[in-house]
Amino acid sequence: MTTDPRVERTRLHVLQQARELIAADGTGALTYTALAKRAQVTRPTLYRHWPTPTELLVDLVLQGGPTLYPYPGTDAPTVVRAFLRSLRDGMGDPALAGAFSALISAAEHDPTARSALHEVTQNRQAALNTLLAPSSVHIQPPELAQLSGAVLFQRFIARTDVTDAFIDEVTDRWWHARPEHRHDDEHP
Amino acid sequence: MTTDPRVERTRLHVLQQARELIAADGTGALTYTALAKRAQVTRPTLYRHWPTPTELLVDLVLQGGPTLYPYPGTDAPTVVRAFLRSLRDGMGDPALAGAFSALISAAEHDPTARSALHEVTQNRQAALNTLLAPSSVHIQPPELAQLSGAVLFQRFIARTDVTDAFIDEVTDRWWHARPEHRHDDEHP
DNA sequence: GCAAATATGATGCAGAACGTATCGTAAGAT
DNA sequence: ATCTTACGATACGTTCTGCATCATATTTGC
Protein backbone atom coordinates (compact mmCIF):
# COMPACT_ATOMS: atom_id res chain seq x y z
CA MET A 1 0.00 0.00 0.00
CA THR A 2 1.33 3.40 0.97
CA THR A 3 4.22 2.17 3.09
CA ASP A 4 6.64 4.07 0.93
CA PRO A 5 8.87 5.99 3.34
CA ARG A 6 8.92 8.90 0.95
CA VAL A 7 5.20 9.55 1.02
CA GLU A 8 4.93 9.29 4.80
CA ARG A 9 7.97 11.48 5.21
CA THR A 10 6.79 14.38 3.07
CA ARG A 11 3.21 13.90 4.24
CA LEU A 12 4.08 14.38 7.89
CA HIS A 13 6.52 17.15 7.15
CA VAL A 14 4.06 19.08 5.03
CA LEU A 15 1.26 18.63 7.55
CA GLN A 16 3.48 20.01 10.27
CA GLN A 17 4.42 22.99 8.13
CA ALA A 18 0.74 23.50 7.36
CA ARG A 19 0.01 23.60 11.08
CA GLU A 20 2.63 26.20 11.70
CA LEU A 21 1.45 28.22 8.75
CA ILE A 22 -2.14 28.20 10.03
CA ALA A 23 -1.03 29.02 13.54
CA ALA A 24 0.95 31.96 12.23
CA ASP A 25 -1.36 33.53 9.69
CA GLY A 26 -4.65 31.65 9.74
CA THR A 27 -6.28 29.27 7.29
CA GLY A 28 -6.65 32.11 4.82
CA ALA A 29 -2.89 32.02 4.40
CA LEU A 30 -2.89 28.27 3.85
CA THR A 31 -2.33 28.39 0.13
CA TYR A 32 -0.62 25.70 -1.89
CA THR A 33 1.92 28.17 -3.15
CA ALA A 34 2.78 29.43 0.33
CA LEU A 35 2.78 25.93 1.80
CA ALA A 36 5.04 24.61 -0.94
CA LYS A 37 7.48 27.42 -0.34
CA ARG A 38 7.46 26.95 3.42
CA ALA A 39 7.78 23.16 3.33
CA GLN A 40 10.49 23.29 0.67
CA VAL A 41 8.34 21.23 -1.64
CA THR A 42 7.07 21.83 -5.14
CA ARG A 43 3.40 22.53 -5.76
CA PRO A 44 2.77 19.43 -7.86
CA THR A 45 3.79 17.34 -4.86
CA LEU A 46 1.09 18.95 -2.76
CA TYR A 47 -1.50 18.30 -5.44
CA ARG A 48 -0.48 14.66 -5.59
CA HIS A 49 -1.02 14.19 -1.86
CA TRP A 50 -4.09 16.38 -1.47
CA PRO A 51 -5.84 17.08 -4.77
CA THR A 52 -8.26 19.29 -2.84
CA PRO A 53 -7.57 21.75 -0.01
CA THR A 54 -10.40 20.10 1.89
CA GLU A 55 -8.48 16.83 1.98
CA LEU A 56 -5.57 18.67 3.53
CA LEU A 57 -7.85 20.12 6.21
CA VAL A 58 -9.31 16.69 6.83
CA ASP A 59 -5.88 15.22 7.43
CA LEU A 60 -5.02 18.05 9.80
CA VAL A 61 -8.17 17.50 11.83
CA LEU A 62 -8.13 13.71 11.82
CA GLN A 63 -4.49 13.53 12.76
CA GLY A 64 -4.68 16.30 15.34
CA GLY A 65 -7.98 15.07 16.70
CA PRO A 66 -7.29 11.93 18.71
CA THR A 67 -5.49 13.70 21.51
CA LEU A 68 -4.88 11.79 24.70
CA TYR A 69 -8.02 10.92 26.56
CA PRO A 70 -8.42 10.65 30.32
CA TYR A 71 -8.16 7.31 32.02
CA PRO A 72 -11.43 5.56 32.78
CA GLY A 73 -12.65 4.03 35.99
CA THR A 74 -13.80 6.99 38.01
CA ASP A 75 -17.37 8.21 38.24
CA ALA A 76 -19.24 9.55 35.25
CA PRO A 77 -19.14 13.31 35.98
CA THR A 78 -15.38 13.14 36.46
CA VAL A 79 -14.95 11.36 33.15
CA VAL A 80 -17.17 13.87 31.36
CA ARG A 81 -15.32 16.77 32.90
CA ALA A 82 -12.00 15.37 31.73
CA PHE A 83 -13.49 14.72 28.30
CA LEU A 84 -14.66 18.30 27.93
CA ARG A 85 -11.35 19.63 29.16
CA SER A 86 -9.51 17.59 26.56
CA LEU A 87 -11.85 19.01 23.93
CA ARG A 88 -11.14 22.53 25.15
CA ASP A 89 -7.40 21.93 25.29
CA GLY A 90 -7.40 20.43 21.81
CA MET A 91 -9.11 23.51 20.45
CA GLY A 92 -6.52 25.59 22.23
CA ASP A 93 -4.15 24.73 19.42
CA PRO A 94 -4.64 27.48 16.82
CA ALA A 95 -3.81 25.13 13.98
CA LEU A 96 -6.38 22.52 14.97
CA ALA A 97 -8.99 25.14 15.76
CA GLY A 98 -8.41 26.85 12.44
CA ALA A 99 -8.56 23.62 10.46
CA PHE A 100 -11.62 22.47 12.37
CA SER A 101 -13.58 25.68 11.85
CA ALA A 102 -12.56 25.81 8.21
CA LEU A 103 -13.78 22.25 7.83
CA ILE A 104 -17.13 23.13 9.38
CA SER A 105 -17.53 25.93 6.89
CA ALA A 106 -16.43 23.78 3.99
CA ALA A 107 -18.85 21.05 5.01
CA GLU A 108 -21.73 23.25 3.90
CA HIS A 109 -20.97 22.42 0.29
CA ASP A 110 -18.38 19.67 0.40
CA PRO A 111 -19.30 16.03 1.01
CA THR A 112 -15.70 15.15 1.87
CA ALA A 113 -15.68 17.65 4.70
CA ARG A 114 -19.06 16.39 5.84
CA SER A 115 -17.95 12.79 6.19
CA ALA A 116 -14.78 13.87 7.97
CA LEU A 117 -16.83 15.75 10.55
CA HIS A 118 -19.05 12.73 10.88
CA GLU A 119 -16.05 10.53 11.52
CA VAL A 120 -14.64 12.87 14.14
CA THR A 121 -17.97 13.05 15.93
CA GLN A 122 -18.38 9.29 15.91
CA ASN A 123 -14.87 8.72 17.16
CA ARG A 124 -15.23 11.09 20.05
CA GLN A 125 -18.61 9.77 21.06
CA ALA A 126 -17.32 6.22 20.95
CA ALA A 127 -14.26 7.18 22.99
CA LEU A 128 -16.38 8.88 25.60
CA ASN A 129 -18.73 5.95 25.88
CA THR A 130 -15.81 3.60 26.27
CA LEU A 131 -14.54 5.65 29.14
CA LEU A 132 -18.02 5.74 30.65
CA ALA A 133 -18.63 2.02 30.36
CA PRO A 134 -17.28 1.20 33.85
CA SER A 135 -19.76 3.73 35.25
CA SER A 136 -22.66 2.05 33.47
CA VAL A 137 -23.48 5.35 31.82
CA HIS A 138 -24.15 5.67 28.11
CA ILE A 139 -24.16 9.05 26.37
CA GLN A 140 -26.85 9.69 23.76
CA PRO A 141 -26.36 12.04 20.79
CA PRO A 142 -28.45 14.83 22.30
CA GLU A 143 -26.37 14.70 25.44
CA LEU A 144 -23.14 14.80 23.46
CA ALA A 145 -24.50 17.73 21.49
CA GLN A 146 -25.28 19.62 24.66
CA LEU A 147 -21.95 18.88 26.29
CA SER A 148 -19.60 19.35 23.34
CA GLY A 149 -21.85 22.03 21.88
CA ALA A 150 -21.57 24.12 25.01
CA VAL A 151 -17.78 24.02 24.94
CA LEU A 152 -17.54 24.66 21.21
CA PHE A 153 -20.11 27.46 21.36
CA GLN A 154 -18.11 29.16 24.07
CA ARG A 155 -14.88 28.65 22.18
CA PHE A 156 -15.86 29.53 18.61
CA ILE A 157 -18.89 31.79 18.87
CA ALA A 158 -19.04 33.53 22.22
CA ARG A 159 -15.24 33.45 22.09
CA THR A 160 -14.75 33.73 25.83
CA ASP A 161 -12.43 31.59 27.91
CA VAL A 162 -13.67 28.07 28.50
CA THR A 163 -12.78 27.93 32.16
CA ASP A 164 -12.78 24.87 34.39
CA ALA A 165 -15.70 26.47 36.22
CA PHE A 166 -17.64 26.63 32.98
CA ILE A 167 -16.96 22.97 32.27
CA ASP A 168 -17.93 22.06 35.84
CA GLU A 169 -21.23 23.87 35.51
CA VAL A 170 -22.01 22.27 32.16
CA THR A 171 -21.17 18.86 33.55
CA ASP A 172 -23.26 19.42 36.65
CA ARG A 173 -26.26 20.50 34.61
CA TRP A 174 -25.91 17.43 32.45
CA TRP A 175 -25.60 15.14 35.45
CA HIS A 176 -28.58 16.55 37.29
CA ALA A 177 -30.72 16.48 34.18
CA ARG A 178 -30.34 12.73 33.80
CA PRO A 179 -33.68 10.90 34.14
CA GLU A 180 -32.77 9.15 37.39
CA HIS A 181 -32.06 12.50 39.01
CA ARG A 182 -35.28 14.15 38.09
CA HIS A 183 -37.83 12.80 40.54
CA ASP A 184 -35.81 10.75 42.99
CA ASP A 185 -32.26 10.24 44.11
CA GLU A 186 -32.10 6.49 43.75
CA HIS A 187 -30.21 4.59 41.13
CA PRO A 188 -29.69 0.81 40.67
CA MET B 1 -24.89 60.01 7.07
CA THR B 2 -25.32 57.21 4.56
CA THR B 3 -28.88 58.06 3.60
CA ASP B 4 -27.94 58.25 -0.03
CA PRO B 5 -30.54 56.18 -1.89
CA ARG B 6 -27.88 54.93 -4.25
CA VAL B 7 -25.77 53.29 -1.60
CA GLU B 8 -28.71 51.61 0.09
CA ARG B 9 -30.06 50.49 -3.25
CA THR B 10 -26.92 48.78 -4.47
CA ARG B 11 -26.08 47.57 -0.98
CA LEU B 12 -29.33 45.67 -0.59
CA HIS B 13 -29.26 44.43 -4.14
CA VAL B 14 -25.71 43.12 -3.89
CA LEU B 15 -26.36 41.47 -0.52
CA GLN B 16 -29.36 39.67 -1.99
CA GLN B 17 -27.31 38.49 -4.94
CA ALA B 18 -24.59 37.36 -2.55
CA ARG B 19 -27.14 35.30 -0.65
CA GLU B 20 -28.32 33.60 -3.82
CA LEU B 21 -24.75 33.00 -4.89
CA ILE B 22 -23.87 31.37 -1.57
CA ALA B 23 -27.06 29.32 -1.59
CA ALA B 24 -26.25 28.09 -5.07
CA ASP B 25 -22.53 27.34 -4.90
CA GLY B 26 -21.35 27.93 -1.34
CA THR B 27 -19.19 30.59 0.24
CA GLY B 28 -16.22 29.33 -1.73
CA ALA B 29 -17.91 30.69 -4.84
CA LEU B 30 -18.50 34.07 -3.21
CA THR B 31 -15.79 35.88 -5.08
CA TYR B 32 -15.83 39.58 -5.86
CA THR B 33 -15.48 38.87 -9.53
CA ALA B 34 -18.38 36.43 -9.60
CA LEU B 35 -20.53 38.62 -7.37
CA ALA B 36 -19.89 41.68 -9.50
CA LYS B 37 -20.90 39.79 -12.60
CA ARG B 38 -24.03 38.38 -11.01
CA ALA B 39 -25.18 41.65 -9.46
CA GLN B 40 -24.44 43.61 -12.62
CA VAL B 41 -22.01 45.78 -10.73
CA THR B 42 -18.37 46.59 -11.27
CA ARG B 43 -15.75 45.22 -8.93
CA PRO B 44 -14.56 48.60 -7.63
CA THR B 45 -18.10 49.23 -6.37
CA LEU B 46 -17.91 46.09 -4.25
CA TYR B 47 -14.58 47.16 -2.82
CA ARG B 48 -16.03 50.57 -1.94
CA HIS B 49 -18.86 49.00 0.07
CA TRP B 50 -16.92 46.11 1.59
CA PRO B 51 -13.16 46.61 1.45
CA THR B 52 -12.81 43.16 2.98
CA PRO B 53 -14.78 39.96 2.27
CA THR B 54 -15.24 39.62 6.02
CA GLU B 55 -17.26 42.84 6.11
CA LEU B 56 -19.52 41.41 3.46
CA LEU B 57 -20.06 38.26 5.52
CA VAL B 58 -20.73 40.39 8.58
CA ASP B 59 -23.45 42.30 6.77
CA LEU B 60 -25.00 39.06 5.56
CA VAL B 61 -25.11 37.62 9.07
CA LEU B 62 -26.19 40.77 10.90
CA GLN B 63 -28.93 41.53 8.41
CA GLY B 64 -30.11 37.94 8.13
CA GLY B 65 -29.79 37.34 11.85
CA PRO B 66 -32.67 39.15 13.58
CA THR B 67 -35.34 36.83 12.32
CA LEU B 68 -38.76 37.00 13.92
CA TYR B 69 -38.81 35.93 17.50
CA PRO B 70 -41.66 34.20 19.31
CA TYR B 71 -44.10 36.23 21.34
CA PRO B 72 -43.45 36.35 25.07
CA GLY B 73 -45.82 35.69 27.93
CA THR B 74 -45.95 31.92 28.13
CA ASP B 75 -43.88 29.79 30.46
CA ALA B 76 -40.13 29.60 30.24
CA PRO B 77 -39.69 26.19 28.59
CA THR B 78 -42.12 27.15 25.83
CA VAL B 79 -40.22 30.36 25.18
CA VAL B 80 -36.91 28.54 25.09
CA ARG B 81 -38.28 25.91 22.73
CA ALA B 82 -39.53 28.59 20.33
CA PHE B 83 -36.20 30.36 20.62
CA LEU B 84 -34.26 27.26 19.67
CA ARG B 85 -36.64 26.52 16.82
CA SER B 86 -36.11 30.00 15.42
CA LEU B 87 -32.37 29.42 15.64
CA ARG B 88 -32.72 26.13 13.81
CA ASP B 89 -34.99 27.64 11.17
CA GLY B 90 -32.65 30.57 10.66
CA MET B 91 -29.77 28.20 10.01
CA GLY B 92 -32.00 26.36 7.58
CA ASP B 93 -31.26 29.11 5.11
CA PRO B 94 -28.15 27.97 3.23
CA ALA B 95 -26.98 31.52 2.68
CA LEU B 96 -27.15 32.46 6.34
CA ALA B 97 -25.66 29.15 7.43
CA GLY B 98 -22.83 29.53 4.95
CA ALA B 99 -22.08 33.10 5.93
CA PHE B 100 -22.29 32.25 9.60
CA SER B 101 -19.94 29.30 9.43
CA ALA B 102 -17.53 31.24 7.25
CA LEU B 103 -17.59 34.02 9.81
CA ILE B 104 -16.80 31.58 12.60
CA SER B 105 -13.81 30.36 10.66
CA ALA B 106 -12.68 33.87 9.79
CA ALA B 107 -12.98 34.93 13.42
CA GLU B 108 -9.94 32.83 14.23
CA HIS B 109 -7.70 35.48 12.73
CA ASP B 110 -9.95 38.45 12.03
CA PRO B 111 -10.97 40.89 14.78
CA THR B 112 -13.82 42.23 12.64
CA ALA B 113 -15.39 38.80 12.43
CA ARG B 114 -14.86 38.34 16.16
CA SER B 115 -16.74 41.46 17.14
CA ALA B 116 -19.54 40.60 14.74
CA LEU B 117 -19.97 37.21 16.37
CA HIS B 118 -19.90 38.90 19.75
CA GLU B 119 -22.63 41.29 18.66
CA VAL B 120 -24.81 38.48 17.34
CA THR B 121 -24.42 36.50 20.54
CA GLN B 122 -25.22 39.50 22.70
CA ASN B 123 -28.28 40.36 20.63
CA ARG B 124 -29.72 36.90 20.80
CA GLN B 125 -29.08 36.50 24.50
CA ALA B 126 -30.70 39.89 25.17
CA ALA B 127 -33.68 38.97 23.01
CA LEU B 128 -34.14 35.67 24.81
CA ASN B 129 -33.96 37.29 28.21
CA THR B 130 -36.50 39.91 27.17
CA LEU B 131 -38.88 37.15 26.19
CA LEU B 132 -38.19 35.34 29.45
CA ALA B 133 -38.67 38.40 31.67
CA PRO B 134 -42.40 37.73 32.26
CA SER B 135 -41.49 34.26 33.47
CA SER B 136 -39.01 35.70 35.98
CA VAL B 137 -36.32 33.54 34.41
CA HIS B 138 -32.93 34.89 33.44
CA ILE B 139 -30.57 32.96 31.18
CA GLN B 140 -26.89 32.94 32.07
CA PRO B 141 -24.09 32.58 29.47
CA PRO B 142 -23.39 28.93 30.32
CA GLU B 143 -27.06 28.11 29.86
CA LEU B 144 -27.17 29.92 26.53
CA ALA B 145 -24.04 28.08 25.48
CA GLN B 146 -25.60 24.74 26.29
CA LEU B 147 -28.90 25.51 24.60
CA SER B 148 -27.68 27.22 21.45
CA GLY B 149 -24.55 25.09 21.41
CA ALA B 150 -26.59 21.91 21.29
CA VAL B 151 -28.58 23.11 18.28
CA LEU B 152 -25.56 24.47 16.44
CA PHE B 153 -23.51 21.35 17.18
CA GLN B 154 -26.26 19.19 15.74
CA ARG B 155 -26.63 21.47 12.72
CA PHE B 156 -23.01 22.19 11.81
CA ILE B 157 -20.95 19.34 13.21
CA ALA B 158 -23.05 16.23 13.68
CA ARG B 159 -25.01 17.42 10.65
CA THR B 160 -28.15 15.52 11.47
CA ASP B 161 -31.65 16.94 11.42
CA VAL B 162 -32.45 19.21 14.33
CA THR B 163 -35.89 17.80 15.03
CA ASP B 164 -38.54 19.24 17.31
CA ALA B 165 -37.98 16.21 19.51
CA PHE B 166 -34.32 17.09 19.82
CA ILE B 167 -35.17 20.64 20.80
CA ASP B 168 -37.73 19.38 23.28
CA GLU B 169 -35.19 17.11 24.92
CA VAL B 170 -32.56 19.84 25.11
CA THR B 171 -35.09 22.21 26.60
CA ASP B 172 -36.28 19.62 29.11
CA ARG B 173 -32.74 18.89 30.22
CA TRP B 174 -32.09 22.57 30.68
CA TRP B 175 -35.30 23.09 32.62
CA HIS B 176 -34.77 20.15 34.95
CA ALA B 177 -31.17 21.13 35.58
CA ARG B 178 -32.12 24.52 36.96
CA PRO B 179 -31.13 24.88 40.63
CA GLU B 180 -34.70 25.01 41.96
CA HIS B 181 -35.42 21.65 40.39
CA ARG B 182 -32.47 19.84 41.79
CA HIS B 183 -33.42 19.06 45.36
CA ASP B 184 -37.00 20.20 45.73
CA ASP B 185 -39.93 21.25 43.64
CA GLU B 186 -40.63 24.57 45.33
CA HIS B 187 -39.88 27.99 43.97
CA PRO B 188 -40.67 31.46 45.42
C1' DG C 1 23.12 -5.98 -6.10
C1' DC C 2 20.02 -4.74 -10.15
C1' DA C 3 16.10 -3.42 -12.55
C1' DA C 4 11.52 -1.73 -12.44
C1' DA C 5 8.30 1.33 -10.20
C1' DT C 6 7.28 5.70 -8.39
C1' DA C 7 7.77 9.87 -5.62
C1' DT C 8 9.70 14.18 -6.12
C1' DG C 9 11.98 18.31 -8.32
C1' DA C 10 12.16 21.62 -12.03
C1' DT C 11 9.86 24.31 -15.14
C1' DG C 12 6.27 26.20 -17.95
C1' DC C 13 1.70 28.00 -19.08
C1' DA C 14 -3.04 29.64 -19.42
C1' DG C 15 -6.77 31.15 -16.65
C1' DA C 16 -8.95 33.26 -12.67
C1' DA C 17 -9.19 36.33 -8.96
C1' DC C 18 -7.17 40.01 -6.56
C1' DG C 19 -6.27 44.94 -5.19
C1' DT C 20 -5.79 49.36 -6.91
C1' DA C 21 -5.72 53.39 -9.88
C1' DT C 22 -7.76 56.76 -13.15
C1' DC C 23 -11.37 59.12 -15.41
C1' DG C 24 -15.99 60.12 -17.21
C1' DT C 25 -20.89 60.15 -16.16
C1' DA C 26 -25.06 60.36 -13.77
C1' DA C 27 -27.73 60.70 -9.64
C1' DG C 28 -28.65 63.11 -5.34
C1' DA C 29 -28.03 67.01 -2.03
C1' DT C 30 -27.94 71.94 -0.90
C1' DA D 1 -28.01 75.49 -10.64
C1' DT D 2 -23.97 73.91 -8.59
C1' DC D 3 -21.56 70.96 -5.75
C1' DT D 4 -20.86 66.35 -4.06
C1' DT D 5 -20.36 61.65 -4.68
C1' DA D 6 -21.63 56.97 -6.13
C1' DC D 7 -21.03 54.23 -9.96
C1' DG D 8 -19.32 52.46 -14.57
C1' DA D 9 -15.49 51.65 -17.63
C1' DT D 10 -11.09 50.32 -18.19
C1' DA D 11 -6.45 49.08 -17.29
C1' DC D 12 -2.37 47.04 -14.89
C1' DG D 13 0.63 44.11 -12.14
C1' DT D 14 0.44 40.41 -8.75
C1' DT D 15 -0.80 36.08 -6.76
C1' DC D 16 -2.74 31.66 -6.87
C1' DT D 17 -4.52 27.99 -9.39
C1' DG D 18 -4.60 23.43 -12.02
C1' DC D 19 -2.25 20.85 -15.05
C1' DA D 20 1.39 19.26 -18.20
C1' DT D 21 6.11 17.57 -19.18
C1' DC D 22 10.49 15.63 -18.25
C1' DA D 23 14.59 14.56 -15.48
C1' DT D 24 16.26 12.73 -11.06
C1' DA D 25 16.39 10.24 -6.91
C1' DT D 26 14.50 6.89 -3.82
C1' DT D 27 12.36 2.61 -2.86
C1' DT D 28 10.96 -1.96 -3.77
C1' DG D 29 10.93 -6.62 -5.69
C1' DC D 30 13.58 -10.05 -7.42
Give the pLDDT score at A5: 84
CA B46 from centroid of its chain's CA atoms: 24
B5 vs chain A: nearest CA distance in angstroms?
A: 34
Using an 8 Å Cβ cutoff, are A160 and A150 in contact? no
User: In whole angstroms, what is the distance from residue B181 CA to residue B160 CA?
Assistant: 30
pLDDT band (50, 70, 90) for residue B134: confident
A140 CA to C30 C1' distance (Å): 67
Tens place of pLDDT for every residue, chain A, 188 residues? 667 888 999 999 999 999 999 999 999 999 999 999 999 999 999 999 999 999 999 999 998 765 656 666 678 999 999 999 999 999 999 999 999 999 999 999 999 999 999 999 999 999 999 889 888 899 999 999 999 999 999 999 999 999 999 999 999 999 998 876 654 443 33
- Kindly report which amino acid residue has its CA closest to the C1' atom of nucleotide D16: A33
CA B168 from centroid of its chain's CA atoms: 20
Name the nt closest to B46 by C-alpha to C1'.
D7
SS3 state of residue B39: coil
Over residues B144-177, the pLDDT tens digits come to 999 999 999 999 999 999 999 999 999 999 999 8
User: In whole angstroms, what is the distance from residue A56 CA to residue A61 CA?
Assistant: 9
Using an 8 Å Cβ cutoff, are A75 and A82 in contact? no
Confidence check: pLDDT of B127 > 80: yes
Mark residues 24-83 of chain A whose C-beta is closer than 7 A to nucleic acid strand C: 40-45, 48-49
User: In whole angstroms, what is the distance from residue B75 CA to residue B98 CA?
Assistant: 33
Over residues B100-126, the pLDDT tens digits come to 999 999 999 999 999 999 999 999 999
Chain B neighbors of A26, CB-CB under 8 A: 108-110
Nearest in space to B169 (alpha carbons), one of A187, A128, A144, A131: A144
This prediction has a pTM of 0.93
Give the pLDDT score at A72: 62
A3 CA to D20 C1' distance (Å): 27
Using an 8 Å Cβ cutoff, are B108 and A27 in contact? yes
Name the nt closest to A7 by C-alpha to C1'.
C7
Q: Which chain D positions come under 7 Å from a protein C-beta?
A: 5-11, 15-21, 26-28
